């Protein structure tokens, strides 16, 4: 886009609103630019004085851009991950962090038992995550159990 053929189609007070509008236009195939994005981003408290965040498009796309921005956004669809996939994601993250922290390790073990005993058939992604979490957390729990028993034995004797 050249500067001579650019038209401001909307102004936004908040940067995130401007970025979302730009992404909306670009998803429709209209190249858009945020004027003074860096200046208003750095000096956010001067954004109103500087004219806010100006969304600009090529002059030939201005009418289409205004029409797109005037329409309400489409409602979101179904979540990307199912509830079972979210559980296994949480399990894998907790297992990876559980190696470093005892409370998180106990939480990861509880999640692992919960997923394995209560959840139904898993898809390929869930199986991989359960196996990876088991590889992280089970050896760490065994080592912790051995160290605890050795420590308890040392205290008794």
What pLDDT score does 49 carry?
74
Percent of the chain at pLDDT exceeding 90: 24
What pLDDT score does 83 carry?
81
Name the phi and psi angles at 105, rounded to 5: -65, -45
User: Residue 40: which residues within 8 A CB-CB, separation 6 or more?
Assistant: 15, 46, 47, 50, 52, 53
In the predicted structure, residue 102 carries a pLDDT above the cut 90: no
Q: How confident is the model at residue 2 (pLDDT cuts 50, 70, 90)?
A: low
Indicate the pTM of the whole model: 0.48
CA–CA separation, 12 and 66 (whole Å): 14
Higher pLDDT, 42 or 134: 134
Beta bridge partners of 34: 55
Residues 62-76: pLDDT tens digits? 999 999 999 987 777
What pLDDT score does 29 carry?
92
Residues 79-90: pLDDT tens digits? 677 888 888 888
Could you tell me if 137 and 115 are in contact, meaning their C-beta atoms sit under 8 angstroms apart?
no
* Helix segments in the chain, DSSP class H: 15-27, 37-42, 62-70, 83-98, 102-118, 124-156
Segment 4-29 shows an average pLDDT of 89
Hey, CA dihedral for 13, 18, 19, 24, is it positive or negative?
Answer: positive
């Amino acid at each position: 886009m050249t500067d001579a053929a650019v038209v401001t189609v909307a102004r936004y007070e908040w940067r995130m609103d401007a970025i979302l509008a730009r992404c909306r236009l670009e998803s429709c195939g209209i190249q858009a630019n945020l004027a003074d994005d860096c200046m208003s981003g750095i000096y956010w408290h001067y954004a109103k004085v500087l004219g806010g965040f100006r969304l600009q498009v090529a002059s030939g796309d201005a009418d289409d851009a205004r029409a797109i921005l005037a329409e309400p956004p489409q409602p979101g669809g179904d979540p990307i991950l199912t509830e079972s996939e979210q559980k296994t994601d949480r399990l894998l993250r907790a297992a990876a962090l559980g190696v470093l922290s005892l409370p998180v390790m106990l939480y990861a073990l509880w999640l692992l038992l919960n997923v394995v005993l209560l959840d139904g058939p898993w898809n390929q992604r869930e199986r991989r995550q359960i196996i990876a979490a088991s590889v992280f957390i089970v050896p760490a729990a065994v080592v912790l159990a051995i160290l605890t028993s050795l420590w308890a034995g040392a205290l008794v004797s």
